Chains A and B, each alone.
Chain A
Amino acid sequence: MIVSRLFKKTLLVMVLLFGFLAAAISLFSAWSLYSHLRSEYESKALAIAESMSQSSAETFVNNQATRVQSLINKFLDVEGVAYAFATTEHGEVIAHTFVPAFPETFRTWLPQKFPQQQFGTKPQTANVELQDRGRFLHIAAPMLAGSAGSLHIGMSLGHINTLIWKAIARIQIITFGVFLVAVAVAYFWVNRIAHPLMALSRYSRQLADHNFDADVDIRSTDEIGELAATMREMAGQLRDHFQQLEEQITIRREAEEALAAEKELLAVTMRSIGDGVIAADTGGQVVLMNKVAEHLTGWSQEEGMRQQVDTVFRLVGIADGQAVDCPAQKALESGGIYELDDNVQLRQRSGQCIDIGDSAAPIRDHQGVIIGAVIVFRDIREEKRRELEHLRAEKLESLGVLAGGIAHDFNNILTAILNNITLARLNQEIPLSATNKLQDAERATLRAKKLTQQLLTFSQGGLPVTQCANVEDILQDAVAFALRGSNITYELSLPQDLWPVEVDTGQIAQVFDNLTINALQAMPEGGLLQIWAENVAPPRGAGSERDTTQKGFVRLYFRDQGCGISEQDQAHIFDPYFTTKPEGSGLGLSSVFSIIKRHGGSVDVHSELGRGTTFTMYLPAANGRPACPSGFEERSVSGSGRVLVMDDEHEVREVLGESLEYLGYEPHFAANGEQVLKRYTEHLQAGRAFDAVIMDLTVPGGMGGKETIRHLCAIDPEVRAIVSSGYSQDPVMARYREYGFCEVLMKPYTLDEVGEKLRAVLHN
């Protein structure tokens, strides 16, 4: 059952009202009933007593107990009479109606309450309480003014209470009945009023919940009906309003979403752009900066926003450090795209200046009106460095090409000169003075050889012929030799577990030689050269991803206490022919750079003027152990056997033949590859096969060593061939074994070198 709150309130009020009414009626009824009944009882008892004293006096006079008993027993039939008894004039009880016995209470109570001598003619009343019997209204009536005794009647007050309670119960029942009827009537009446109100209230709640489809079914013509009609009309208007609003909101939300998506796209794009982007409004205030721009300028977007664009993006001239006009301003002024000059740098917030490339363009709205400018710029330091390096490499390459061009012929010539001098010196008939001259000539030839080698370093053919080697061995030889007779001391500290390196020992020895000479020249007053090294593990990520054979590097330091190199000069010290010393060739450090680079390592310089210079090198670590300890136990170079020499140069064939004879070998000659094959086949068939073959790599207009070895290997798989060349541009010189050669002889070679190589070939 749906009970309206209105009815609940009404019910509550009714309950309170009826409760109050019932209590009031009960109290009033009880009070009036009590007083009424009491007075009625009293008058009843008094009437009995009066009539008795009037009519039956003689019965009492005679003390006829039986008749008195008979009389008083009749009183018990009267409603409310609880007991009756009669006493004589002496107070003796001659008849009573008590069962099982006359109460003891009266023995003391009666004389106190009704003393015989004070007993008048009128009945008297008193309240008495009898144990186990209750409270009574006691009426004592004197018979013949007490001379014939007295009659006592007890009216039960408990009976009065019972009557009162009964009456109250009846009143309550009636009240409750009336209450129920009133509740029922009120329920129907209130409901008649409340139902439309509840419906309206429900309707208004539905409207509040935007449920405009709801309706309220009240069509009456009274005020509630009018209210319902008004609310219906209002609901209709509200529904229309809401619909319009919702449509507008939908449109706006879609637009906002599109805008947000666009903004997001723009922001993501901006963030993702590798170049810095700064946008400014027409007033020159920054309105947008991307992440790269933040990084390059040193300003965060929050800090940079609303700053003047030339505060955030501050440009200075490289030459004078003076401020340069902001390109954005220029773009705004000119209305065209503005490219930055090369000779300006961006001064970061920290004050450091960096090279940048940038351009600025005005931003136009769809009507072509300029609404701001955008600067796009990037860090070009790396670009510039690479450009410099590229330039340097180009220099070296052109030098290398030049050197390579002349080196072949030059080395052939040097080979002839050097070996002839050597052979001449070996002649003991020559006077001592001549011998000294020959020695000087030989020394000059060796210097020429060195120069040629340095030049060849820059050529493409100068690939290092690497082997596993100990750094210490090479260092000891090279440094000690270079510092002979100087006032420089050196300090070598290498860890015990220093890895071996995979290097061309000759080239690396040259590097160490050059660096030592460089230190020597930097400390003309003498000083200390410190050299130390350490293992450098390969970079983890790269190592696991690439070949596991990568062992890492050995890092070497050469530190002198010399005059140092100025910052400007540091950029050029690795350039060929750049030198600050009057006697320098300008090739020392540039060949160091070239050799290390070709080994897959790197070299760097750190110097402060007046405090010395430190060169740092990275050399690739070797996988295995050094194959051969440095030095020879036996420096015997002589041997025996048939050796076929192939060289297109007559002088070289001749001097090499003489050298071989001197060493104890039996030389045979060929001018080109075809002759080698012919001779070798003849000797092989004749059973006098050659023990070794020494072949020039290239023969102009004929088959060189490179081709010949293929055929030779086909004829005799066990052929022992040594390749010889004036310059190492050809990759065969570095990877001779892959082609079938057993050894290599670099021109110009000395008598000793020839002997060593042959001995090595023949005895392996």
Chain B
Amino acid sequence: MLWIFPPLDGDAQPQSRDKNNTDIVLGMSAAFTGPSRSLGIELYRGASAYFQKVNAQGGVHGRRIRIKAYDDGYDPGPALENTIRLVNDDQVFALFGYVGTPTTTRILPLLEKHRDKPLLLFFPMTGAQPLREPPYRKSIFNLRASYFQETRRLVEGFLSIGRERIAVLYQADAYGRNGWAGVRRTLREYNLDIVGEATYRRGVTAQADMGEQVRLLRDANPDAVITVGAAPACAAFIRQARQQGWEVPIANLSFTHAQQMAKCLLEVKKGLAPEELTQNLLNAHVVPSLHDTRIPAVREYRQVMDAAQISLPRTAQSTLYTPHRYDYVSFEGFLNAKLLVQMLRRTTPPLTPQRVRQSIYTQRRYTIDIGLPLFFGPEYNQGLDIIFFSTLRNDHIEPLRNWDAFAP
């Protein structure tokens, strides 16, 4: 189903008269257009759905939570401009739900500039290492595991089944470099090195020609390929690799957005059959499986998504996108919102960024009903360290139970 979202802006809501006093406004800059738009849209949907539920129940300390979102198209420049606008013009309470490494790393100096205020960034959708290291550690709270962790687990997984020759396809920017560095780093611990590497330019579509990259990596004769990219680029790479008959296992990071990648991979209805295209594909996730309804958070997520009435920000309105009913990214957004609401509720009013941070450092422990406690402190600003894996069967994502399936 194709949706064109009706215009709905937070500013237009009736409560906006005394928003400065009543609403907690969160500033968001993400990709709502372009090849990576699925990430921004799904993340926004998951968070908004939960905030709708909270707001319907009376909000936090009687205040409604609202997201002020701008589109940056997964481009660092607009991301920086959006952030300045959010801080200066919109005077948001905090930044929330940023998407992507190059965009987020670009605004880090801004956080440093407003460190006395402070300007906090909650749960950006990136596993980039600088966000987890000084000097930005105090201004940022991460929920998801880092790319280093994702790549470490992937490399170790391949090593566990004897695939030691690992090649990397990565986006020619900070995100790609981070993933590349993670793979390299893990391999070096085992006295190995990346056997082949290729890059691509950020922003390519699923129809892009990745023939040269496939050739470069295939020449290195790797046992497995790890991609550090966005969904359309990875889909393009995988399709061409498979069309050339290269059956090597290919693993994607969480940022690749498995569901969107599957859609991109399968939308071209010619050439190979869906089973052949999706064979030997592996995806890393930083949230539990959507299908695991034993987890309370998953059940709540499903209820919230089914109940929510979500309008996209004005900047994303012209985009053609069919949202998934349940999606790993919107689930991440949901969890982000759930954790933030926890953090805000457990802060004694009046709510200021300073007091929220102080509260977090004091409380230290949070739960979001996924069966795992989350710890935060001045030295540690990342909630989850767990990585989940899935495989693809046609367009269906299935949790990976045993790495032996990828054994040579």
Contacts and interface: CB of A to CB of B under 8 A. Distances in A.
Interface of A: 64-70, 73-74, 77, 94-102
B102 A70 contact: yes
B304 to A, nearest CB: 34
A69 B216 contact: no
Contacts of A96: 172, 199
Contacts of B174: 66-67, 69-70, 73
Contacts, number: 65
B105 A66 contact: yes
Interface string B55-82: 0000000000000000000001100000
Interface residues on B, range: 20 to 34
A99 B130 contact: no
8 contacts: A65-B180, A66-B175, A73-B76, A73-B172, A96-B199, A100-B198, A101-B197, A101-B213
Contacts of B181: 65-66, 94
Given A67-B105, A100-B212, A95 B199 contact: no
Contacts of B130: 64, 66-67, 70
Nearest to A70: B174
Contacts of B128: 66
Interface string B170-184: 001111111011000
Please classify the interface of chain B as helix (H, G, I), strand (E, B), loop, or mixed, using the class held by over half of its residues: helix
A101 B199 contact: yes
A97 B172 contact: yes
Given A65-B178, A70-B173, A96-B172, 15 more contacts: A65-B177, A65-B180, A66-B101, A66-B128, A67-B130, A67-B174, A69-B173, A70-B105, A70-B130, A73-B172, A94-B181, A95-B177, A96-B199, A100-B200, A102-B197
A355 B369 CA distance: 175
B213 A100 contact: yes
Interface string B127-156: 011100100000000000000000000000
A567 B172 CA distance: 150
**Which of A66, A69, A97 counts the most B-chain CB atoms under 10 A from its CB?**
A66
Contacts of A99: 172, 199-201
A511 B181 CA distance: 167
A66 B199 CA distance: 14
B177 A69 contact: yes
Across chains A and B, which 3 residue pairs bring their CB atoms closest together, nearest first?
A69-B177, A70-B174, A66-B178
A66 B102 CA distance: 9
Contacts of A94: 177, 181
Given A70-B102, A70-B105, A100 B129 contact: no
Given A66-B181, A68-B177, A98 B199 contact: yes
B106 interface: yes
**Which of A64, A65, A77 counts the most B-chain CB atoms under 10 A from its CB?**
A65
A617 B152 CA distance: 163
B348 to A, nearest CB: 36
Contact of B129 (A64, A73, A97): A64
Nearest to B196: A101
A177 to B, nearest CB: 39
A77 B78 CA distance: 14
A223 B254 CA distance: 95
B178 A73 contact: no
Contacts of A95: 177
B212 A66 contact: no
B375 to A, nearest CB: 24
A25 to B, nearest CB: 39
Nearest to B148: A66
A472 B41 CA distance: 161
A383 to B, nearest CB: 132
A101 B176 CA distance: 13
Contacts of B212: 100
Nearest to A93: B197
A69 B199 CA distance: 13
Contacts of A98: 172, 199
B213 to A, nearest CB: 5
Nearest to A76: B172
B198 A73 contact: no
Interface in B106-131: 106, 128-130
Contacts of A68: 177
Nearest to A77: B77
Given A99-B172, A101-B216, A66 B200 contact: no
Given A99-B199, A99-B201, A73 B173 contact: yes
A507 B365 CA distance: 194
A94 B197 CA distance: 12
Nearest to A73: B173
A616 to B, nearest CB: 132
A70 B106 contact: yes
Contacts of A77: 77
A70 B133 CA distance: 15
B35 to A, nearest CB: 16
Contacts of A100: 198-200, 212-213, 216
**Which of A65, A68, A69, A74 counts the most B-chain CB atoms under 10 A from its CB?**
A69
A70 B173 CA distance: 6
Contacts of B200: 99-100
Interface in B190-221: 197-201, 212-213, 216
Contacts of B213: 100-101
A67 B105 CA distance: 8
A182 to B, nearest CB: 47
A723 B16 CA distance: 188
A91 to B, nearest CB: 14
Contacts of B105: 66-67, 70
A121 to B, nearest CB: 27
A66 B177 contact: yes
Nearest to A97: B172
Contacts of B106: 70
B225 to A, nearest CB: 14
Contacts of A101: 197-199, 213, 216
